[in-house]
Structure 1
Amino acid sequence: MEDKEGGPTNHSDTHPKDDRVNRQLVLTQEEQVILKKVLKKIDIKIFPIMYLLYLAGAMDRINLGTALINGMRPALNLKPVDEGNLNSLFFITYVSMEPLANIFLKKLRPSIWFPFTCIAWSITCMCIAAAKNATQAVVLRVLLGAFEAGFTPGLIMYMGYWYTREELGPRMSIMFSALPAAGIVNLLYGAIVLIKIGNLQPYQAIFIFGGLITLIVGIISIFVIEDYPETAKFLTSAERDVVVKRLVSSQGSAQKAVITLKTIISTTLDWKVWAFCIIGAAKNNVLIIVGFVGPTIIKSLGFSSATSTFLTSGPAILGTISSLVCAFLISKYPYWIRILIIDLVSIVCLAIVGFAKDKYLRLVFLFTLGISMYSVIPIAMSWMSVNSGSTQKRAIQSAFYVMVGSLTGVLTPYLFTPNLAPKYTSGYAVAFGLYGCSTLLTIALRIYLDRVNKNRDKNCKDVSHLSTEEQRDLHDFHPSFRYIL
C-alpha cells in the first residue's frame, strides 16, 4: 500500500508513528480487488442487522401517535397535558442518557450493547399495553427513552468502525431510510385495529405487536453483530489488513480509540459541533411533528381513526423511496447544497400544511413533506459525521447531535395537543424559526470549512514530530485533514 502524499518521516522519534494520518492511500491492484470483495462482505454482514435494529427502534418510538387515535385516549382518560407528557418526557431520558451511550458502547462492545438496549426497549414497549392510567404509561415511556437513547448515536459511531468517511454518505442515506420505513408499519397497524384480537383494545395490540417484532430482532442480533474489523471472523487475514489500514489512515482504529477528558472538552468547545447540532434539530423537529403528532394532525382534518391510521403511512412510504433515491442520484452534489435545497422544499410544504384552508391540499403537502424531510435527515447527519476528524470525536459529536435534536421532542408535543388544533400556531412558528437558524448555519459552515481547507492547502504544517496518537488527538484540526463540503 503506497502513500499518495509522502510526508516526512522522523525515524529517530521514540513514539510509534504513522505519517499517513489523514492522508489518502493508494491501493495496489491486488488490494483494490480485495477491497471490492470485502466491502460487499461488510455490506451483507453488518448493514442488514443494523438496519433492522434502527427500523425497530423508530417503530417503537413513533407508535404512540397511532395508539392515541385508536383508543388510548379514552382508555387511560388522557388529558391534553397527559398526551404532552407521554411524548415529551420520553425525550427527557432519551436526551440525558445519550452522552453516556457511546461510552457504554466502547466499554461493553457492540455485540453486547446493541442487543441489550434493543431487548430492553422491546419489553418496555409491550408493557405500555398493560398501563392502567396516564401515570403508568408516562413512567414506561420514560424507561423506553432511557433504553432507546443508546442506539442512534451508537449506530453513527459503529458505522464509522467499518467504512471510511467517503463511503459513509450513501450508506447512511440507505440506513436512515429505516426511519420513514418504520412509518409504513402503520399499514399493518391499520389492519390490526380492524381485527379483534382477544380482549385487547386496538392500541394495546399496537404496542404488543411492535414490541414483539423488536424482541425477535434483538435476539437475532446477539448472534450476528460483530465488534470490530480487527476481530471480524467473516474476514480473512488479508481482508482485515486492507480494511484496517484504510480505516486507520482515514480516521483511526475504532478498537484502539480511547475517549479522553481532553477529547470531550475540545469537542464541547468546538462551535462547529453545535452548528451541526442545530441544523439537525431543525430536521428532527419536523420529524416529530410528522411522526409523533402526524396522526393527530390528520385526524383533526376530519378523517376517522382507522382512515387516519392508514393515511399516516403516506409520508413514510414517500420518505422511504426518496431517501433511497437521494442516496444514489444526488450524492455527487455537496452536502450543503443538498441540505439548503431540500430544506426549502420542506419549508414550503410545512407552510401549506400549517396555513392552507383546504384539508385535501394540506394532506397532499403533508405527504410531500415526507419526501423532503426524510431524505435530508441522513444527509445532514452524514455531513456532521464525515467532518468529525477521528473516531473519538465522532463518538462524542454524534451523541451531542442526537441529544440536541431530541430536545425538540421535549417542547414540540405540547405545541400540537388536540386542544390547539387545527392551527397549532406556536408549533409551526418554532419549526420555521429552527429552519431559519439551520439555513444560516449551513451557509456559515460552508464558508468557514472552505476557507479552512484553502488555508491548509496554502500553509502546510509539519506535525511529523508528533506520535500517531498525538496526531489523532488533533481530530479535524490536523493540518492534513480536509473538510468535505
Structure 2
Amino acid sequence: MDDTSSVVKITTPAGHDDEARYHPGADVSSINEKNLMWKVDLHVLPWLTIIYLFSFLDRGSIGNAKLYNLEEDLGITDNQYLICLSMFFLPYALFEPVSNVLLRRLSPSIWLSCMMFFWGIVMTLHGIVRSYAGLLTLRLLLGLTEAGLYPGVVYYISSWYKRSETGFRVAIFFSSATVAGAFSGLLAAGIAKMDGVGGRPGWAWIFILEGLATVILSIASFWIIQDFPDNAKFLTEAERVFIIRRLKADTRFSASGQTFKRAYVWQSLRDWKTYVAMGLYMGFDGPLYAFSLFTPSIINQLGFKATQANLLSVPVYTWGCIVTCIIGYLGDRTGRRYYINLALFAVGLAAYIILILSKTPALSYFAVYLAISIDAIKSPPHHLWIEANSVAWVANNVEGTYKRSVTLGMAIGFGNLNGAVTANIYRAHDRPWYRLGHAIILVYIAIGLICTIVFATSLKRENSRRDRGERDEVIEGVENSRAHERNGRFASVEDAQLDKGDEWSGFRYTL
C-alpha cells in the first residue's frame, strides 16, 4: 500500500450497520494505516521473537549438552535419557489449552512473563542436577512452565492482525526457532570450554548460563510485552478504534473483547476443525521435536565430532530462518496456504525418504537441509515453513476470542504431545543412520498431508453451503427467505457474529 492510499475508510461486513461499529462516534480519518501497523509491528513482534528464541534454546539445549558427556556424568543409560526427553512433552501438551484461556483472562504481559521467569529458574537448576531422578523431575517442570507459550503467542498475534497479515508475522516469530538452532550450536561449543570452572562440567554451564539469561529477560518482559488491542498502552484511543474496526471488518468480530462463557469452549470442542487441526499439527510437530533434539547427534554419528556437529547445524538453521519468512510472506500475498502446505509436505516426504535410503554422510546432510522446511527449530528446514503456514491457516479459520484460544491450544497441545513419542525413536543402537526413526517421521508427514487435504476440502464444502444460504440465521427485522430457525435466532447481525463466531453464515473460510 503506498502513502496516497494509506488513509482508508474502514468498511464493515455485509449486513453490518455502520452505526454498530466499534465506537461509531470516533474520528479516525487522520490515521495512517501503514504507519500505524508498522508501529504495531515494532511493539509486538521483536520481543515475542526473542522470547521464543530463548524458549527453544532452553528446551533443546539438552541435545547439545548430551555431546559433552551429560549421560556419563549423571550415570544414566540411553533409555533413561530418552525417557527424560519424553517427560517434557506430557505437561507441556496437556496444559496448553488451559494456558491459552488464562492468557486471555489475565494479560500477555503478566502471563507470558511469569511463564518465562519460572522456566528460566528450572533451566538453571539443570546445571546442578546430579542424578537421573533429578533430571527427570526438571524435565517435567520445564514442560509445565513452558506450556502455553507457543499457542499463546500464536493466538496473541492473531488478535492483532487481519487474516491476510497473520502468516508473515507468525513466520517472523517462528524464524527465531531456526535462529535458536543456529545460535545454540555456537553457544554450546563456546560454553563447553568452561569445563571444570566452579567444579562443574561444561554441559552444566550450558544450562546455567542460558537459564540465568532467561530469568533476566523475563523480568524485563513485564514492561515490554504489550497486551491486546482493546487495552494496549502504546496506542492512542483513535489508533485503538482504528485497529479494532479493521479487525472487525476482517471478520474478527471479537476484537474489541469478549466476555468469557463456557459456551465458547464447547464451540471449540464440538467443531470438526479442532480435531482435523490436531492431526495437522501432529504431522509437523512430531518431526519437529524429533530433529530438534537429535540433529546434533545425527550429524555427530555421520562422522563429525561433537563441536563440529554443533557447528555444522548452524548453516542449516540459518537457511531455515530465511525460507520461513519467505513462505510466510507468500502465504499472506497469495492466500493459498493449502497449496503451500501440499508442496512443503511433499518436500518433507522426499527429505526423509533420502535419509532412510542414504548410505553417505554428504547425502544425509543435504537431506537435513530439506527436512528443516517441515520441522523448524533444530532440525532440517521444511517443518518450520509448514508450521508457520499451518498455524496461520488454522488461526484464520477460527473466529471468537475464546474459541480460537481453545482450538489453538488443543491442536498445538496434541501436536506437542507427539514429541513424547518421537523423542524416543532415535535410539543409540540404530546409529549412525537411524532408519527406524526416519521411517516413523515419514508416517507423521503422511498424516499431516492427509489432514491438509481433508481440512481444505471440508472448508471449501462449507463455504459452498453458506453461499447457497443453508446456514442463514433468523435476524429480527431482516427479511431473508433462506433463513431457518435451526441456525439460530438473533436480534441483530452483530449478535449473530459474536455468538456464533466462524459459524456465522456470513463468515467465509480461507484456503
Please give the TM-score of this superposition, normalised by the length of structure 1: 0.91
CA–CA separation in structure 2 for the residues paired with 1:58 and 1:252: 33
Q: Which runs of 5+ in 2 are unaligned?
A: 1-8, 373-380, 477-489
Q: 60, 65, 68: which is aligned to 1:67? A: 65
Does the 8 Å contact 1:125/1:210 carry over to 2? yes
Q: Which residue of 2 aligns with 1:302?
A: 303
AA matched with 2:453: I
Q: How does 1:414-425 map to 2 (within 5 A)?
A: 414-425=424-435
Q: Which residue of 2 aligns with 1:483?
A: 509
Does the 8 Å contact 1:93/1:149 carry over to 2? yes
Q: Which residue of 1 aligns with 2:497?
A: 471
Q: Which runs of 5+ in 1 are unaligned?
A: 12-16
Cα deviation 1:136-172 (Å, max 9, x = unaligned): 0110110000000021111112112221222211111
CA–CA separation in structure 1 for the residues paired with 2:95 and 2:453: 31
AA matched with 2:170: M
CA change 1:178–1:233 in 2 (3 A) is: same
Q: 401, 413, 416: which is aligned to 1:391? A: 401
Q: Which residue of 2 aligns with 1:339?
A: 341
Deviation of 1:254 (Å): 4.8
CA change 1:86–1:104 in 2 (3 A) is: same
Q: How does 1:447-466 map to 2 (within 5 A)?
A: 447-459=457-469, 461-465=472-476, 466=490
Q: Which residue of 1 aligns with 2:267?
A: 266
Q: Which residue of 1 aligns with 2:375?
A: none
Deviation of 1:274 (Å): 1.4
AA matched with 2:233: K
Q: Which residue of 2 aligns with 1:38?
A: 36
Does the 8 Å contact 2:257/2:401 carry over to 1? no
Q: 100, 103, 109: which is aligned to 2:101? A: 103
Q: Which residue of 2 aligns with 1:221?
A: 221
Does the 8 Å contact 1:315/1:369 carry over to 2? no
CA change 1:330–1:104 in 2 (3 A) is: closer
CA–CA separation in structure 2 for the residues paired with 1:242 and 1:452: 31
Greater Cα offset, 243-252 or 99-108? 243-252
Q: Which residue of 1 aligns with 2:487?
A: none
Q: Which residue of 1 aligns with 2:420?
A: 410
Structure 1 moving runs of 4+ over 4 Å: 17-20
Identity %: 26
CA change 1:463–1:241 in 2 (3 A) is: farther
CA change 1:57–1:426 in 2 (3 A) is: same
Deviation of 1:457 (Å): 2.3
Deviation of 1:53 (Å): 0.9
Q: Which residue of 1 aligns with 2:236?
A: 236
Cα deviation 1:44-99 (Å, max 9, x = unaligned): 11111111111111111111111111121111112122111111000011012112
1:51 aligns with 2:44: no
Greater Cα offset, 308-317 or 464-473? 464-473
Deviation of 1:428 (Å): 2.5
Deviation of 1:212 (Å): 2.2
AA matched with 1:207: F
Does the 8 Å contact 2:167/2:392 carry over to 1? yes
SS at match of 1:129: helix
Does the 8 Å contact 1:38/1:235 carry over to 2? no
Deviation of 1:132 (Å): 0.3
Q: Which residue of 2 aligns with 1:14?
A: none
SS at match of 2:355: helix
CA change 1:5–1:225 in 2 (3 A) is: closer
CA–CA separation in structure 2 for the residues paired with 1:330 and 1:3: 24
Does the 8 Å contact 1:355/1:423 carry over to 2? no
Cα deviation 1:235-289 (Å, max 9, x = unaligned): 1221111112222343234563234322222212222211122112111111112
CA change 1:372–1:159 in 2 (3 A) is: same
Q: Which residue of 2 aligns with 1:251?
A: 252
Does the 8 Å contact 1:165/1:386 carry over to 2? yes
Deviation of 1:226 (Å): 2.0
Please give the TM-score of this superposition, normalised by the length of structure 2: 0.87
Does the 8 Å contact 1:415/1:426 carry over to 2? yes
CA–CA separation in structure 1 for the residues paired with 2:448 and 2:137: 33
Does the 8 Å contact 2:28/2:241 carry over to 1? no
1:438 aligns with 2:453: no
CA–CA separation in structure 1 for the residues paired with 2:306 and 2:322: 26
Deviation of 1:413 (Å): 1.6
**Relative contact order, CA 8 A, sep 6+: which one is greater?**
1
Q: Which residue of 2 aligns with 1:137?
A: 135
CA–CA separation in structure 2 for the residues paired with 1:230 and 1:99: 23
CA–CA separation in structure 2 for the residues paired with 1:481 and 1:156: 21
CA–CA separation in structure 1 for the residues paired with 2:14 and 2:444: 45
CA–CA separation in structure 2 for the residues paired with 1:8 and 1:162: 21
Q: Which residue of 1 aligns with 2:150?
A: 152
CA–CA separation in structure 2 for the residues paired with 1:399 and 1:2: 31
Q: 10, 15, 18: which is aligned to 1:7? A: 15
CA–CA separation in structure 2 for the residues paired with 1:18 and 1:354: 59
